[in-house]
């Protein structure tokens, strides 16, 4: 394992916040993680990160940041398709690329989401009509309290929109060490979300889409191009990806907004009768797209993304911008936006 005291975390979070941790530990095996859990001289509390892509460090961290470098990909035939077991430290997009090159369907819509596989399973990452929870079979963890290996079935993971057991009851106790997913070789693209199908038709032709001639690699390419058109590259502009969750509102609230003169409100009907309104649309209607305050800003192509506009933003600048956006959406639409990004 690698133990670093007074560690610079600026390269360990995609927002590029210039913060430090009392200690940073990279570990390479479950055995090392078990040893770490029993090391009384490491600063507490422990906080686990998986690439720092969904985080806003609000200041220096007084405890120990843990980071997995458990990296492997193992595949096994199964009754449902191909079962693939992935180490928590494998970069998520590397796994998406691995699958696409083998014509395995499942994670292609989640391509280019930054972070690592363990964190992806914790966050239940989602994009373009898919979530990782759709393909997860089980999640292996190390219990930092009980000092033992444990595994959780798909149902025990309690996946919901940007939620999981590991973000709630299991937070801080269970550290993901491996994720097993069920992938399929049968033709099974999901391309009806947003303008993805139109992009694929423009790129490959109507024939390809209509005649079931798409491949995971072609869908992945379409997803990557779509994301690159809308989102900043984190290696160039610091961000934490989508900053706010899309709100679910009652039908009455949706109708109220339509009555305000917004006849073409983008929305998605949910099985429970609620309606999802894109947070990006709400923020845009409040005039925030492309806005910059000091070193913090709102991305000009996607208002759901807050950015470290100059590379020198302080955590408080991002937080103040967040608060102002929340207040303006609340004032204009009566909807309270909730951050998707975890504040540490």
Residues tagged active-site: 162, 242, 340
- Determine the distance from the C-alpha atom of residue 258 to the mean position of all C-alpha atoms in its chain, rounded to a whole number: 30
C-beta separation of 139 from 176 below 8 A: yes
What the block records as the tokens of 262 is 């917004």
In terms of DSSP H, where are the helices of 79-150? Answer: 92-101, 117-123
Q: Which residues contact 28 (CB under 8 A, 6 or more apart)?
A: 1, 69, 70
Sign for the pseudo-dihedral over CA of 41, 44, 47, 52: negative
C-beta separation of 264 from 278 below 8 A: no
Residue 94: count other Cβ atoms within 10 Å of its Cβ.
14
Among 212, 70, 201, CA closest to 140: 70
CA dihedral 322, 326, 327, 328 (to 10 degrees): 100
* CA separation, residue 173 to residues 40, 142, 239 (Å): 16, 8, 27
């Amino acid at each position: 394992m690698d133990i670093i005291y007074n560690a610079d975390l600026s390269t360990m979070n995609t927002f590029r916040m210039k913060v430090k941790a009392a200690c940073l530990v990279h570990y390479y095996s479950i055995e090392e993680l078990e040893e770490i859990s029993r090391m009384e001289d490491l600063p507490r509390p422990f906080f686990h990160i998986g690439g720092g892509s969904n985080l806003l460090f609000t200041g220096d961290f007084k405890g120990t940041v843990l980071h997995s470098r458990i990296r492997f990909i193992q595949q096994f035939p199964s009754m449902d398709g191909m079962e693939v077991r992935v180490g928590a430290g494998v970069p998520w997009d590397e796994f998406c690329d691995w699958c696409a090159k083998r014509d395995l369907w499942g994670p292609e819509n989640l391509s280019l989401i930054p972070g690592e596989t363990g964190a992806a399973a914790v966050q239940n990452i989602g994009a373009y009509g898919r979530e990782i929870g759709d393909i997860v079979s089980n999640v292996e963890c190390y219990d930092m309290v009980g000092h033992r290996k444990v595994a959780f079935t798909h149902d025990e993971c309690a996946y919901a929109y940007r939620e999981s057991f590991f973000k709630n009851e299991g937070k801080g106790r269970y550290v993901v060490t491996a994720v097993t997913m069920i992938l399929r070789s049968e033709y099974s693209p999901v391309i009806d979300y947003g303008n993805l199908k139109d992009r694929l038709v423009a790129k490959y032709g109507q024939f390809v889409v209509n005649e079931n001639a798409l491949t995971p690699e072609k869908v992945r390419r379409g997803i990557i191009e779509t994301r690159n058109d809308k989102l900043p590259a984190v290696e160039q502009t610091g961000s934490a990806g989508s900053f706010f969750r899309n709100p679910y509102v009652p039908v009455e609230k949706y109708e109220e907004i339509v009555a305000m003169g917004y006849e073409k409100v983008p929305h998605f009907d949910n099985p429970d009768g609620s309606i999802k309104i894109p947070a990006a649309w709400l923020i845009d209607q409040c005039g925030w797209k492309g806005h910059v305050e000091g070193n913090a800003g709102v991305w000009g192509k996607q208002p759901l993304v807050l950015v470290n506009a100059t590379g020198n933003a302080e955590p408080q600048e991002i937080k103040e911008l967040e608060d102002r956006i929340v207040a303006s959406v609340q004032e204009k639409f009566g909807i309270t936006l909730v951050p998707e990004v975890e504040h540490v």
